[in-house]
Amino acid sequence: MIPAFPKPCPLYVSTVLLKPAQRSLSYSSLPPPRIGFTQLTSRRLIALAGKDAPHFLQGLTTRNIAPRDSRHDQDPFEGFYSAFLNAAGRVLHDVFIYPGAHHHYLPQGDDPGFLIDVDANEAERLRKHLKKFQLKAKVQVEVLDQQAYVWSLWQEEKNDSLPRFLGRNIRSYDGKIAYALDARADGMGARVVLPHGKDPIPDMGAEECSLESYHVRRVLNGVAEGQGEIRREAALPLESNMDYMGGIDFRKGCYVGQELTIRTHHTGVVRKRILPVQLYDSDRPPEHLQYDAGALVTMPPSGTDIKRLNGEGRSTGKWLGGVGNLGLALCRLENMTDITLTGESNQWHPELEFAMSWGQEGEAPEKVKVKAFIPHWHRNRSSARDIHNGILNANTS
């Protein structure tokens, strides 16, 4: 019997269009349900296939593209999180890659191939990036236009029914389905690629949510996505937490942007990272990260500097974007959190408050206070990385 998820609480209040001319969905000022699914209209798919596809992709992405028959430790069709970098080691695109999922979308169905899940606004730019490196490689690259869609499925309960459910139903659409367990943060669930016109996996037992609910879940978990948040040719993969999220294989051979990434991982200190933040205007900062779509706070422009409330000192962070009263910001860890990176004393203390100020010249500036939070998964994976690097450094000294 297929395991079913219990029904979540219903959603209320506002209406957001998920699919043009198909249906509208409701979302709430309350946090998203613990169990649900959303069509990710913010993402598009690129199909890449051909005799040379695995070798071609191997030299361009931060994850190892192993041959399908050698992936003994996982389903050969299971996708994974990765990124494309430029030669300077800056992020071009954050992606999910699904091996072997191209068969029904390209003529070369019998050749090796992949589907690449990318920011919808960046799909054509990634296609051109891939074509630039194609040279004589026998590959075809094509942006899919409504042939298939990406969905996010999640349940936050601590059990394995979601992986088991996917494993049992992965062939339910005659091989036209691909999936990836979303390990970027605890509770992010899975991503599933479904053909156009197909409903989400049957018997899911969860309620469909708006795209806004998915974004709220991401921000609550401190997960940046797309080039609106992971700024193209500016963001560094480690500052974007890709090392914590399993998006980089540090044992992999040469790929574009590898040198700076590997050197920083093994010898450098990552002083800034993307963290979830909460906007507020009360006298006291919030103690816990909490979503409130009805909060009367003004959303600052992307790129606004974060500074101490009294205006002293240099910038301590940079606002990236948000939803409701929540957002993501690139934060200096030793200034805005209790994390200590070096032997020097941390510059943060609980009484410190931070704010953003912006506006047109000649007008009174707008201002909002902001507090950064460290997700629990972030602390856990940070400790694991420090232990790994300590062992590595001891073995090589």
Lowest mean pLDDT among 21-25, 274-278, 329-333: 21-25
The residues pairing with 150 across neighbouring beta strands, listed in sequence order, are: 193
Tens of pLDDT, residue by residue over 8-62, are 333 222 223 223 333 333 334 457 888 888 999 999 999 999 999 999 999 999 9
Asked if pLDDT for residue 392 goes beyond 50, the answer is no
Lowest mean pLDDT among 191-195, 299-303, 334-338: 191-195
Query: Which value, in Å, is the radius of gyration of the alpha carbons in the chain?
Result: 22
Asked if pLDDT for residue 204 goes beyond 60, the answer is no
Confidence of residue 298 (pLDDT cuts 50, 70, 90): confident
Q: What's the predicted TM-score (pTM) here?
A: 0.85
Tens of pLDDT, residue by residue over 108-157, are 557 888 999 999 999 999 999 999 999 888 999 999 988 899 999 888 76
Confidence of residue 356 (pLDDT cuts 50, 70, 90): very high
The residues pairing with 298 across neighbouring beta strands, listed in sequence order, are: none
Task: Dig out the tokens for 241 from the structure.
Answer: 């937490």
Confidence of residue 305 (pLDDT cuts 50, 70, 90): very high
Asked if pLDDT for residue 288 goes beyond 60, the answer is yes
Asked if pLDDT for residue 380 goes beyond 50, the answer is yes
pLDDT given for residue 167 in this prediction: 55
Task: Dig out the tokens for 5 from the structure.
Answer: 């998820």
Average pLDDT of the chain? 81
39's enclosing H/E stretch is strand 35-39
DSSP for 193-211, please give it. EEETTPPSSTT---EE--H
pLDDT given for residue 17 in this prediction: 29
Residue pair 36/206 in contact by the 8 Å Cβ criterion: yes
Residue pair 139/48 in contact by the 8 Å Cβ criterion: yes
Say which residues have a Cβ less than 8 Å from residue 354's Cβ, sequence separation at least 6.
306, 307, 308, 309, 316, 317, 336, 369, 370, 371, 372
- CA atoms within 13 Å, Cβ hemisphere of 62: 32
Lowest mean pLDDT among 37-46, 93-102, 212-221, 232-241: 93-102
Lowest mean pLDDT among 27-31, 98-102, 230-234, 365-369: 27-31
Q: What is the mean pLDDT of residues 155-164?
A: 63
Confidence of residue 349 (pLDDT cuts 50, 70, 90): confident
Asked if pLDDT for residue 65 goes beyond 60, the answer is yes
Asked if pLDDT for residue 87 goes beyond 90, the answer is yes
